[in-house]
Structures are given as structure tokens and as C-alpha cells.
Structure 1
Amino acid sequence: MSLLDFSSDVFIAAFFLYSGSFMLFTIAIMGRKWSGRKPEEHTARWGRIAFIVSSLGLICHLAYFITRWAGSGHIPVSNMYEFMTFLSMMVMVAFTVIFSIYRKIILGVFAVPISIIIMAYAAVFPQEVQPLIPSLKSIYLNIHVTLAALGESFFAVGFAAGLMYLLRTVNFAGKEKNDRKQQRLVEFTLFSIIVIIGFLGSVFAFRGAGYETVFVRSNVTIDSPGQGDSTIEKVSYKMPPIVAPYHSEIESFQPFLGMKKPLFEAPSWMNGVNAGRKFNTVLWSLISGLLLYGILRLAARKPLGRAIHPVLDGIDENDLDEITYRAIAIGFPIFTLGALIFAMIWAQVAWGRFWGWDPKEVWALVTWLFYSAYLHLRLARGWQGRKSAWLAVLGFLVVMFTLVGVNLVIAGLHSYAGTD
């Protein structure tokens, strides 16, 4: 067995161990009411087992990282698959650090799934080892990307703790205007997470079924008066095409639930043959998310935030507030070093300038400014509790757009995601 094959095997093992630890953390919290033991004994016992299982998963994840590095000859953070697998590992490192400090078992129910979702998202991308492009052949790749990901992983734990704080403190039985507003915002946050899960479910379901529809489009470019060049562009859909690329024709169409052609065409302002496919993916994510959300609502027979709220009974809200702040306070200087300082040094070495207003650079700066504002408002203005929790939740949404949206949607010098 080659190192790369072994690397893939231990990565899968890490995924299942994390999934198992999540279920064990859930049993530790949910099962305390039905256990024959005292609730504290039940929670502590199953919490220890869950943490041991998550630690074993982290060991497997580290083994994946080391063996893939050895097998590929370069640190495995150079494309979206490698970076997302590394980020998910760093989230578990951050969780392990914070858990070791505070010993709050409920944190595993919210933080571990973030790593699991990121690992599943990584599997969407091509997994083959790819040679480094010239600008990535630098020691600064190791420093810049790893430190930035580690800082972002602590932001992820802060997000988990902040969301827990909101679920713990929002008055879901309240009828006042502010209470209803808070309920809707929490529910929308949970729905957004479910949309991501729905997207992943759709991708793997259609991929497992081998679904594919191909469109072609003629692209004409005019170089000078009377002269032009015509090329044929193809795009392959791995999900049933609700929306077709603008001005395209069907080369091959695989029917789905009676659908024999796309429902409509992408508007003209969606430039590029892949724009329609991305729009189609967004639509399927929303449809899948709505279906999954509807099923969960029917099962719970109440809004999800209200259903989850009792699980956090007895949890000290001040501890959750402290964990949120502490995680972000640890991650901020690490992120500053990795995403800004070493990034600018590398930019000077690779491109001859410290700053060039590339989209990824801009959004890294936006992320840094957001968390700078968080720390300023927390320390100087006394923004604690609910205000602090909402900032932690919104901040991580900015992080995810910087990681995903910029790489996949906005063209720039950092768009080397390794997508099909």
C-alpha cells in the first residue's frame, strides 16, 4: 500500500471516529435524563468516552496529513480539497485545546459537527495530488496557510460557543417583538447550516447515482474588425439542471423525476459557461435544505431553536460567553500572523508587492477588521453576552465566505481551488 492510499484510509477512519464521537457527545447530553445513574455521572462518563474517540480521530487525521505530505512531496494545503481537510483537522485541534481548558461536554455536540461538515465538503473536490504551481513553491506556503487555518479554526469554536449561548439564552416562549426577532434570527442561522448539509447530501446522492448532463455553448470572440475566433465550451452538470447555461444547447440529458429539459435558462448577466451550473447548485442546495428543514420541523413539531433550547438547560451561560471570547482571543493573533503579516511577506516575494487588492486579500482584511471590532467592542465597550455571541456567529460567516465564496466564485490570484 502506498503512502497516499494509506493517507486516504486514515482520513476516512478519522471521519467515522469524529462521527462516532459526535453521537457519544450527544448521548452524554441527551441520555442523562433516561440514565439509571445520576445525570452528572452519566454525562461525565460518556463525555470522557466521546473525547477519547474524538482524540483518536484527531490522531488518524494527523496521520493522514503527515502521510499525504510525505507521499506528495509538499504540504497538503495547496488546493480546496487539501485546505479543507487541513482546516477540519485544525478545528479539532482548537476544540481539543478549548475542551481541555473548560471541560464543557456540550461543546462537543456543536464543535465536532463543524469539522465533520468541512471534511464532507472537502470530498466534493478532486482528491488527486496536484503539482504545485510556481507561486506556491515557497516556505511561506507552510507558514501562511497553516497559521491562517489555525486562527480560523478557533473562530469556528467561537462560533459554536456563540450559537450555544444564543440557544441557551433566547426566550423561545416569549411573545415580545425583540424575543420574536431573536427567535427568527436563531432559526435562520440553523436553517443556513441545514442548507449546507442539504447541499452535501445532494452532491453525494447524485454522484453516487452517476448523474450527468452535458451542455455545449459556442463562444465567439472578436479580435479585430472582420476577424474573430469561435470555440465550443462544454459544462457537465452533476445535478439535474433546473437552470441551463445562457445560450447553450443540450449535448446529453439524463432525465430525473420526469424532467426532460431544464426549467429555464440562466440570465445573460451570468457570464461564463459555468455560471449556470453554479446557480443550479445554489438552487439544489436551497431545495435540499428546505426539504431537510421541513422533515426536521415535522419530527420536532416546533421550531428547531425551541426544540434544541431545553438541551442546554443547566449550562452556565457565562461559561459559554467566556468560551466564545477565549476562543476568538486565541485565534485572532494567530490569524493576524498567518493571514496578514506572512501573507504580505509572501506576496512581496511571489508578486513583487505587499498588497494588490486581490479579492482574497480584501476579504482576509475584512475578516481581520471584523474580529478586531469584536475584540474592541468586547473589551472597550463591554459588549458581552448576546451581542458578543451574535458577532461571533456573523464573524464565522465572513470567514466561510472568504474561504469558499472567494475561491469558487470571484476570480483572482487565489483562485486555484482544484475544482472540475
Structure 2
Amino acid sequence: MKWWLDFSSDAFIVAFYLYCASFICFAIAVAGKRWSNRKPEDHTNRWGKIGFGAAVVGWVAHLTFFFTRWYGGGHIPTSNMYEFMTFLGMAIMFAFIIVHLIYRNMILGAFAIPLVIIIIAYASVFPSEVQPLIPALNNYWLKIHVTTAATGEAFFAVGFAAALMQLIRVVDFTRTDKAGRRAQFWTEFSLFVIIVLVGFLVAVFGFRGAGYESKFSQETVTIDENGIANSEVKEVIYSLPPIVAPYNSDTISFQSFIGMSEPLFESPSWLNGVNAGRKLNTVIWSVIAGLVLYGILRLIARKKLTAVIHPHLSDIDPDDLEEISYRAIAIGFPIFTLGALIFAMIWAEIAWSRFWGWDPKEVWALVTFLFYSAYLHLRLSKGWQGTRSAWLAVIGFLVVMFTLVGVNLVIAGLHSYAGV
């Protein structure tokens, strides 16, 4: 079985590099058409076709990774954060291929494929070893629930990419009135949120490569049903410099960083979970790294990043982008509803003997369902089109990402096993 797992890892690496090559080709198709001596259409189509071909081959390699890991590990590889995020990346690529074959829009790849690359890189932060299934996960409904939910979210991601392109395409950077500045700010902020996620990856891989590590011992006290207090001391390991120490903890070892010899403050007591302080520390570092990365990009560009992208989208009809976004969400919504709600409740009844328990992940899955229900209702019944529907598509996917990332990394619950 080890051979299959090694082969699976190799296929995953091949898929990642092919996705990177695909993005480069799509980026050349978008940016290079301005300096090409050929007709813009010829240049875009040539590089776009190469990029799409690389994406398809990369997806086949990714699919090979999925099935060989399944065979080598003995269960479907969606049981922890690493496996789920790699599956989500594969599902987003599948959704992009489907939407691309329908609309033949080459430039969509320049926005959709970076999402796949970021999500795969994010998955690599977590342990990649095959882990035995806990009893609650050892059920065939897991396969149905997780795969359908992730596929629905993948189509939401493609809808988000098209909607963000639409917003950058229609924003008027020459306007100086209040409404114009507000539109420019929120469009730039949407891009900044993505950069914060990239900043998280830069911070984690940077400090991990430098071998950074600090340790704390944290005492937790629980009271059993008889009213007897039980204390337990656990070790918490930080791979990022501890700005936030665990609540009620002592320092075992502290590796100083730029003169910081101790944490700046302690995690608040109302944050649940032994790793709550470490998770809050990760969020803070993600924002810091995102701000630094954004600042560097702004210094290089010397203007808003959306203003840099805007001229390269001038040849695209924003109505086409809105149609792509709407169709992608319309495809993903029923799939997500089945996977994240209906199939999830069936699995919850089998695993925990209740259909619904107000677990944070369940609550945010419901929030996501209600939000996209509102999106479809407002667009179809109330005529919300143009920038209003685009903003809803962007905000909706940010809700999805919080459900996937924020709930697992910040909020403790039954689904927190995925964030370990």
C-alpha cells in the first residue's frame, strides 16, 4: 500500500505544477495580448488553449492522486482537512472545466485557477499522513455528504471568480465622488481578502522552513456530572511566533523573534478548545502577512491592484461574466443543498443520533444555504442583476470560505477534528 501512497503523492505534485503552468498561460493570454504582434483574438486563443489543456491534464493527475490515495489508504480521502481541501481543489477545477466548455471564456481561468492553487497550498499546511477513520466517519454517507457538498462549493467558487472579474471590469477608477470611491474600496478589499489567505501560506511555510517552534503547557479544568473537578495539562506547539499565548498556560520553550521574548497577551478565556490560542495567533499572523504582502504589491504597482487588472478586462462583456457567475451558482446550489444539508442530516442521525445539533459547522452550512437562496430569489424575482448580483456572489463565497476555514481554525465543535 505504501507504493500506492507514494505514487499518489507524486501525482499530486504533478497536478500542482500543471495548475501553475495553466495559470501562467492564462495570465499571458490576458496580459500579453496588449504587446502581441498578432491579433489579440489569436494570441488569447492560443495561450488560452494551452492553459486549458494543462488544466485538464493537471486535473487528470489530481484525479489519479485521489483514487490512488483512496486505494492505498483504505478509505475515501476526505476525512481530514488536508484531504478535504485537496478534494475541494479538484472539484473547483472540475467545475471550471465544465463552465469553460459551456462558455469558452479563456480569461476565466486567470481568476479561477489561482483559487485552486491557493486551496491546494492551504491543504499542504496540514498533516498529509493517512489517518484511521474515527467511528463517526466510518460510514458510506460520509462519501456522499462530503463529495456533494464540496462539488457544490466548487461551482460557487467559479461563480465567485466570474463575479469578481465582473466587479473589477465595471468599476470606474476615474470617479472621485463618494459612491465611486466606495465601489473602488470594496472591490479592492475583496482582492485583499484573497491576499490575506496567501499571506497565511507565506507565513506558515516561511516560519516552518526556518524551523520555528515554541511550546506551552496549558491546564484545562473540567467538571464531570458528579461535580468533581478534573484538571489536565496539555502541550501546545506553535509554529508561528506567539503573539497570543494559550489561556492559563506556562511557557515551556520560547524562540525569540525580532526582539519578542514573550507573547504580547493571553488568549481570552471564552475561546473554546485547547488550541484556541494557537488558532487566534494564526489568524493574527495571517492578517499581518497579508498586509505586508499587499503593501509590497502596492509599492510595486504604485496604484490599486484592481486598477492594474482593470485594463486587461476591457474587452470582456460584463453581461457575459454575470451569466457565467449565475449559471455556475445555479448548478452548484442544488448540489450543495443535497450534500451539505440533506445528506449531512442523514449522516448526523447515523453518527450522533440526531439530525441537527446546532454545531458551528452545521449552522454556517445553513447560513450558506440561506444566503445563496436569497441570491437566487433576488436575481430571479426581484431583478437584482449587474453589480448587485455580483456582490452577492462574492460575499457568498466569502461565507463559504469562512465555513471551511474559519469554523475549522477558530471555532471549536464536532467538525473541529478536520482542523487538527
- Range of TM-score over shorter length: over 0.9
Matches within 5 A, 1:80-99: 80-99=81-100
Which stretch shows the higher mean deviation, 141-150 or 158-167? 141-150
> Post-superposition shift, 1:217?
2.9
1:265 is matched with which residue?
266
Aligned to 1:416, the other structure's residue is in SS state helix
Between the aligned partners of 2:225 and 2:248, the Cα distance in structure 1 is: 23
Which stretch shows the higher mean deviation, 281-290 or 214-223? 214-223
1:23 is matched with which residue?
24
Q: Percentage identity across aligned positions?
A: 67
| 411 and 272 in structure 1: CA distance in 2 versus 1, 3 angstrom threshold | closer
> Post-superposition shift, 1:196?
0.5
| 368 and 418 in structure 1: CA distance in 2 versus 1, 3 angstrom threshold | closer
Between the aligned partners of 1:246 and 1:237, the Cα distance in structure 2 is: 14
Matches within 5 A, 1:202-241: 202-221=203-222, 228-241=229-242
Between the aligned partners of 2:241 and 2:362, the Cα distance in structure 1 is: 35
1:366 is matched with which residue?
367
Between the aligned partners of 1:51 and 1:340, the Cα distance in structure 2 is: 33
Contact 2:214 2:239 (C-alpha < 8 Å) held by counterparts: yes
> Post-superposition shift, 1:362?
1.8
> Post-superposition shift, 1:220?
4.6
| 316 and 301 in structure 1: CA distance in 2 versus 1, 3 angstrom threshold | same
> Post-superposition shift, 1:311?
1.2
**Which amino acid is 2:296 matched to?**
I
Between the aligned partners of 1:188 and 1:31, the Cα distance in structure 2 is: 26
1:168 paired to 2:177: no
> Post-superposition shift, 1:223?
6.3
1:406 paired to 2:389: no
Between the aligned partners of 1:102 and 1:380, the Cα distance in structure 2 is: 25
2:180 is matched with which residue?
179
Between the aligned partners of 2:113 and 2:403, the Cα distance in structure 1 is: 21
> Post-superposition shift, 1:221?
5.0
Contact 1:126 1:418 (C-alpha < 8 Å) held by counterparts: no
Per-residue displacement from partner, 1:206-254 (whole Å, max 9, x unpaired)?
A: 1111110111234455669997544322211101112222332221121
How many residues get paired?
419
Contact 2:409 2:419 (C-alpha < 8 Å) held by counterparts: no
| 245 and 34 in structure 1: CA distance in 2 versus 1, 3 angstrom threshold | same
Between the aligned partners of 1:79 and 1:272, the Cα distance in structure 2 is: 18
1:106 is matched with which residue?
107
Which stretch shows the higher mean deviation, 148-157 or 269-278? 269-278
Matches within 5 A, 1:333-352: 333-352=334-353
1:317 paired to 2:341: no
**Which amino acid is 1:393 matched to?**
V
**Which amino acid is 2:277 matched to?**
G
| 217 and 342 in structure 1: CA distance in 2 versus 1, 3 angstrom threshold | closer
Q: Which runs of 5+ in 1 are unaligned?
A: none
1:307 is matched with which residue?
308
Which stretch shows the higher mean deviation, 175-184 or 153-162? 175-184
| 260 and 350 in structure 1: CA distance in 2 versus 1, 3 angstrom threshold | closer
> Post-superposition shift, 1:355?
2.3
Between the aligned partners of 2:185 and 2:66, the Cα distance in structure 1 is: 40
Between the aligned partners of 2:225 and 2:134, the Cα distance in structure 1 is: 33
> Post-superposition shift, 1:138?
1.6
| 248 and 353 in structure 1: CA distance in 2 versus 1, 3 angstrom threshold | closer
Contact 2:244 2:278 (C-alpha < 8 Å) held by counterparts: yes
Which stretch shows the higher mean deviation, 403-412 or 85-94? 403-412
Between the aligned partners of 2:226 and 2:112, the Cα distance in structure 1 is: 59
2:79 is matched with which residue?
78
**Which amino acid is 1:265 matched to?**
E
**Which amino acid is 1:51 matched to?**
F
Between the aligned partners of 2:271 and 2:97, the Cα distance in structure 1 is: 43
Between the aligned partners of 1:21 and 1:310, the Cα distance in structure 2 is: 22
> Post-superposition shift, 1:150?
0.5
Contact 2:85 2:122 (C-alpha < 8 Å) held by counterparts: yes
Between the aligned partners of 2:407 and 2:265, the Cα distance in structure 1 is: 27
Between the aligned partners of 1:349 and 1:268, the Cα distance in structure 2 is: 33
| 367 and 240 in structure 1: CA distance in 2 versus 1, 3 angstrom threshold | same
1:256 paired to 2:257: yes
| 221 and 131 in structure 1: CA distance in 2 versus 1, 3 angstrom threshold | closer
Contact 1:25 1:46 (C-alpha < 8 Å) held by counterparts: yes
Between the aligned partners of 1:146 and 1:224, the Cα distance in structure 2 is: 38
Per-residue displacement from partner, 1:14-67 (whole Å, max 9, x unpaired)?
A: 111101110110011111111121111111111111111111110110000010
> Post-superposition shift, 1:333?
1.1
> TM-score of the superposition, structure 1-length normalised?
0.96
Between the aligned partners of 1:100 and 1:279, the Cα distance in structure 2 is: 42
Between the aligned partners of 1:222 and 1:47, the Cα distance in structure 2 is: 61
| 273 and 332 in structure 1: CA distance in 2 versus 1, 3 angstrom threshold | closer
Between the aligned partners of 1:228 and 1:362, the Cα distance in structure 2 is: 31
Contact 2:272 2:412 (C-alpha < 8 Å) held by counterparts: no
1:49 is matched with which residue?
50
> Post-superposition shift, 1:272?
4.5
1:65 paired to 2:85: no
Q: Aligned-residue CA RMSD in angstroms?
A: 1.8
Between the aligned partners of 1:392 and 1:134, the Cα distance in structure 2 is: 37
Between the aligned partners of 2:227 and 2:287, the Cα distance in structure 1 is: 45
2:41 is matched with which residue?
40
Matches within 5 A, 1:130-209: 130-209=131-210
| 298 and 226 in structure 1: CA distance in 2 versus 1, 3 angstrom threshold | closer
Contact 2:19 2:54 (C-alpha < 8 Å) held by counterparts: yes
Between the aligned partners of 1:67 and 1:318, the Cα distance in structure 2 is: 41
> Post-superposition shift, 1:411?
2.5
> TM-score of the superposition, structure 2-length normalised?
0.96
